[in-house]
Structure 1
Amino acid sequence: MSAVVLLVLGAAVWANAASNTTTADNSTSCDTVLRGYQCSPEISHFWGQYSPYFEVPSEISADIPDQCKVTFAQVLSRHGARDPTASKTKAYNATIQKIQANSYSFEGNAAFLQNIEYTLGADELTTFGEQELYHSGIKFYKRYASLARSQHMFVRASGESRVIASGQFFTDGFHQAMVDDKSNLTGDYPYDMLIISEDETANNTMSHAICTNFENEDDDIIDARGQTPWNEIWLPPIANRINDQLPGANLTQAEVTYLMDLCPFYTVADPEGKLSDFCELFFEDEWKQYDYYQNLGKYYHYGAGDPLGPTQGVGYVNELIARLTNTPVEDHTSTNSTLDSDPETFPIGPGHVLFADFSHDNDMTAIFFALGLYNDTEPLNNTQVQTAEESGGWSTSWTVPFAARLYVEKLSCSGETDEYVRFLVNDRVIPLSCADSDGKCKLDAFIDTLDFAKSGGNWSACFN
């Protein structure tokens, strides 16, 4: 049984976020509410899951189709930009210390390494990440203002502190947009948020934990499918070049990837997202190789490349079906039946058409594949780069960057009796197999494509 906390958000959080948004929302900035982070896109859009959110190119217009209106809207969001995890921040610091203790030359664009002091924290949102979610809330309100002016939003967050904080900043931005819109619907601010525990025994559709065989998988075996063979190809030339540039450092290939990681992490540690000096250590084609390295890790750990990966997203898909169809949740995987059967903690039906959920990149990857959003993505090649376009529109930077967001829209259209559904991942309309030229599927037809989730995926394989 999951531990649950109902949290009331404070206005002080909004005041802090609001004070940090003016620069990034300036029309002359390369980081805006509508299009996200467009600074040095030839580099920053190839940082895998460490990329800041950016508007992904869409073959189909993201505008609401003509003669249609949105009757339901849901966002599933990743938390905003953060500091490295605790284990990684130790490894990064150790790498910097090793370079400074052993290298006897610091020339050119590596000169900054001689005196840099490691200043990154661990796990929590950066100021830049707070701004990302504040902006996301503004954008969500503006896109769905026709609903938001008259309908209350129900908010859930997985129980990690950075995820909860992301929900706070999102709702603060959402509320500020409502105030700016002079909407009368302000009575439920500060917003309540349902927080679902991430304890390893907790049923939580936004944080995997209870599928035993999935949690116990051998990382070396998983990496052998993707990252390990790729590392043998792309990393040696880069490591040789960096070690030539830093004589005496004798960096391992893993430590070279740490230096690459520090490019996005130091960038998002700057409140305005100023490109870090670490980024200048590497060439554009090397960033594409790095991006693909991250793709292989995510695909073969949490995507269709792992037999149990998409199954971790099945519970969330079945909750979404319930919301879209106004019917009780039918699921026997990671859902919490106590929460999902209570209208206070899982409201469905008339008057409940605006939802916001907050999660992690790994869980969102599993959910996207369980939804069938990337059924056209073939198993990733582990010896050469495939672009997102060549991979059915899937890559980590396109799908789960910091502050990633999935929009689910239900629409009614003039002269039509059928309801329609449409999915947008970071502003890219997903061309579902059942979709028309606007990217919308008849709701019933889309639900019919979800047999994998409705049947529980491979959940039985979690425990045998």
Structure 2
Amino acid sequence: MSDFKIAGTGNRGKYERLLASGPAPRTLPAFDVHEVTQRILDRHLKTFQSSKRRQLVIMSLTVIGVLLFLYRVIGANTYTLQGCDTVEVGYQCQPEISHYWGQYSPYFTVPSGISTDVPDGCQITFAQILSRHGARDPTSSKTAKYNATMQRIHATALSYGNGYEFIKEYKYTLGADQLTTFGQNQMINSGEKFYSRYRTLALHTIPFIRSSGGNRVVESALNWTQGYHTSRVRDNPAKANKGYPYPMVIISEDEGSNNTLNHGLCDAFENGPDSNTGNDAQQAWAAVFTPPISKRLNKNMPGCDLTTEETIYLMDMCPFNTVASDTGAVSQFCALFTEDEWSAYDYYQSLGKYYGYGWGNALGPTQGVGFANELIARLTNTPVSDHTSTNSTLDSSRKTFPLGGSTSLYADFSHDNDMTAIFSALGLYNKTRPLLNTTIEDVRDTNGYSAAWTVPFASRAYFEKMVCSGDDEELIRVIVNDRVLPLERCHAGKLGRCKLSAFVDMLNFVRQGGDWDKCFV
């Protein structure tokens, strides 16, 4: 059995340490809760009061003879660099280029051809959110590489061209792995949004919450519950003292742990011949789109001789510095690249996800089979039938895996790679053709698939079950980042819904084990 803790039910050690770490700039209404939670909420309020959110308006004046500017957009394309709005639009960045940062994009509302409204005559009876953690600092390995790149530029650059001067004074201050304040706000907002969307159920229900054991994932889950509970108390102040902090199952990410929210058990996937498929696809595309960028960077910073890899790192500096900003300002690094180049960068990240964890990897979908079988169990109110990554001890207990009864809302928190595998196991993007690695394809070519559209920071998928007048069976609908996915494989109607039995039937790959037997060959 994997290690786990149920936060709020007597085993609070790890939960309390996470509550006591890291700022968050919003707070719940004043009410008496667990003393550890109250301390962190008080600190959150002070942080919020001292942080003045503002948008940085960049004016670009083209006048013969003189250019006055704060940021310079390189190339033919221009755009206005604004800020990341933390209230009005729900913790999203304003400039459209932020929608082309792959998995480093902050969550945004993806265009949907089908309305997300609950259809007339229907009532939601079940909702499951599967969420990625909020915006974070780079991983520890990447932050070391970014820091080394900046140090090398400072040591070798003979001069800095027009628009590059800020790099000379730039000091690398990004951390490693931890949520940023922006990322915490994303998750608070996500909890509020989930409550608002499923208010009829949420008024009377505390979601059953699970989190993969990584610190940033657990902290994201905690931030999410703050937003949810804030809304719940706003609707009914009598709920202020009811059950908060919410119980939470935290599933270990230690090596060898059975965890449907974090891959790691499938040996052939982790170390086999397909383990580098995603990187190979990215390198092929990088060889196509980065040379002109590297040439321009090296011209404006002579002496650096940036490599393809370092060029990508310099592009990475844009999203990471943006989501780490205390003012909400979009990073100056972003203006070093054109809109077309950001599109190419987004495709680079999409290739990594598709061929690393999606249908482009022979064992990618297999990594999502365990969660998919758990979802089937929740939708059908039947025991979990799975022999892949599920933890049989947890899933066989109604305490750690409740089914039916008063449990109609579920919230699970994970990582982008695992969500990509789960989406693949569920066949949600099965109509996407294998992505080309030498020619860019946009979301129209890929049937709505991209890393930014599927797994940005704080991404969320909703799995809904509803009863509708005139239908003799419950219906299923899937919404990813506010886009209703057309479920062609189960013959969804024009509103994107399938009958429950048809949805389960289409998951034959999942129910038959999803090639898990190939993991140990």
Q: For the residues of structure 2 that align with 1:220 and 1:165, how far apart are their CA atoms?
A: 29
Q: For the residues of structure 2 that align with 1:361 and 1:14, how far apart are their CA atoms?
A: 28
Look up the SS of the partner of 1:349 in the other structure.
coil
1:181 maps to 2:238: no
C-alpha change, 1:238 and 1:29, in structure 2 (3 Å) is: closer
Q: For the residues of structure 1 that align with 2:333 and 2:200, how far apart are their CA atoms?
A: 44
Q: Could you tell me which residue of structure 2 aligns to residue 115 of structure 1?
A: 169
1:50 maps to 2:104: yes
Amino acid paired to 1:124: Q
The TM-score normalised by the length of structure 2 is: 0.85
Look up the SS of the partner of 1:390 in the other structure.
coil
1:66 maps to 2:123: no
Q: Could you tell me which residue of structure 2 aligns to residue 348 of structure 1?
A: 403
Amino acid paired to 1:84: P
Look up the SS of the partner of 1:239 in the other structure.
helix
C-alpha change, 1:23 and 1:436, in structure 2 (3 Å) is: farther
C-alpha change, 1:141 and 1:363, in structure 2 (3 Å) is: same
Q: For the residues of structure 2 that align with 1:92 and 1:179, how far apart are their CA atoms?
A: 43
1:76 maps to 2:130: yes
C-alpha change, 1:109 and 1:25, in structure 2 (3 Å) is: closer
Pick one of 451, 454, 465 that aligns with 1:410: 465
Q: For the residues of structure 1 that align with 2:191 and 2:53, how far apart are their CA atoms?
A: 14
CA contact (8 A) 1:25 1:32 kept: no
1:357 maps to 2:412: yes
Amino acid paired to 2:129: V
Matches within 5 A, 1:239-250: 239-250=294-305
User: Which range moved further: 100-109 or 320-329?
Assistant: 100-109
1:272-328 Cα offsets, whole Å, 9 max, x none, are 431001101111100000000001111111000000001000000000000000000
1:23-52 Cα offsets, whole Å, 9 max, x none, are 7799x98444765414101x1000000000
Q: For the residues of structure 1 that align with 2:53 and 2:404, how far apart are their CA atoms?
A: 38
Matches within 5 A, 1:303-322: 303-322=358-377
The Cα RMSD (Å) is 2.0
Look up the SS of the partner of 2:166 in the other structure.
helix
C-alpha change, 1:175 and 1:203, in structure 2 (3 Å) is: same
CA contact (8 A) 1:31 1:39 kept: no
Indicate the structure (1 or 2) with the bigger Cα radius of gyration: 2
**Following TM superposition, by how much is the alpha carbon of 1:219 offset from its aligned partner in structure 2, in angstroms?**
7.2
Q: Could you tell me which residue of structure 2 aligns to residue 258 of structure 1?
A: 313
CA contact (8 A) 1:23 1:29 kept: no
Q: For the residues of structure 2 that align with 1:197 and 1:299, how far apart are their CA atoms?
A: 26
**Following TM superposition, by how much is the alpha carbon of 1:158 offset from its aligned partner in structure 2, in angstroms?**
0.2
Q: Could you tell me which residue of structure 1 aligns to residue 207 of structure 2?
A: 153
Q: For the residues of structure 1 that align with 2:53 and 2:108, how far apart are their CA atoms?
A: 13
Look up the SS of the partner of 1:288 in the other structure.
helix
1:102 maps to 2:156: yes
Q: For the residues of structure 1 that align with 2:428 and 2:187, how far apart are their CA atoms?
A: 24
Identical counterparts, % of pairs: 53
C-alpha change, 1:445 and 1:33, in structure 2 (3 Å) is: farther
**Following TM superposition, by how much is the alpha carbon of 1:5 offset from its aligned partner in structure 2, in angstroms?**
1.3
Look up the SS of the partner of 2:326 in the other structure.
coil
Look up the SS of the partner of 1:270 in the other structure.
coil
Look up the SS of the partner of 2:127 in the other structure.
strand
**Following TM superposition, by how much is the alpha carbon of 1:226 offset from its aligned partner in structure 2, in angstroms?**
1.6
Q: Could you tell me which residue of structure 1 aligns to residue 72 of structure 2?
A: none
Pick one of 472, 480, 493 that aligns with 1:436: 493
Pick one of 318, 343, 352 that aligns with 1:297: 352
Pick one of 271, 287, 293 that aligns with 1:216: 271
CA contact (8 A) 1:47 1:287 kept: yes
Q: Could you tell me which residue of structure 1 aligns to residue 5 of structure 2?
A: 5
CA contact (8 A) 2:275 2:356 kept: no
Amino acid paired to 1:5: K
Amino acid paired to 1:212: D
Q: For the residues of structure 1 that align with 2:43 and 2:95, how far apart are their CA atoms?
A: 27
Q: For the residues of structure 2 that align with 1:224 and 1:81, how far apart are their CA atoms?
A: 23
**Number of matched residues?**
462
User: Which range moved further: 273-282 or 44-53?
Assistant: 273-282
Q: Could you tell me which residue of structure 1 aligns to residue 445 of structure 2?
A: 390
**Following TM superposition, by how much is the alpha carbon of 1:14 offset from its aligned partner in structure 2, in angstroms?**
4.3
Q: For the residues of structure 2 that align with 1:401 and 1:16, how far apart are their CA atoms?
A: 28
CA contact (8 A) 2:103 2:456 kept: yes
**Following TM superposition, by how much is the alpha carbon of 1:416 offset from its aligned partner in structure 2, in angstroms?**
2.4
CA contact (8 A) 1:17 1:169 kept: no
C-alpha change, 1:335 and 1:221, in structure 2 (3 Å) is: closer
Q: Could you tell me which residue of structure 2 aligns to residue 89 of structure 1?
A: 143
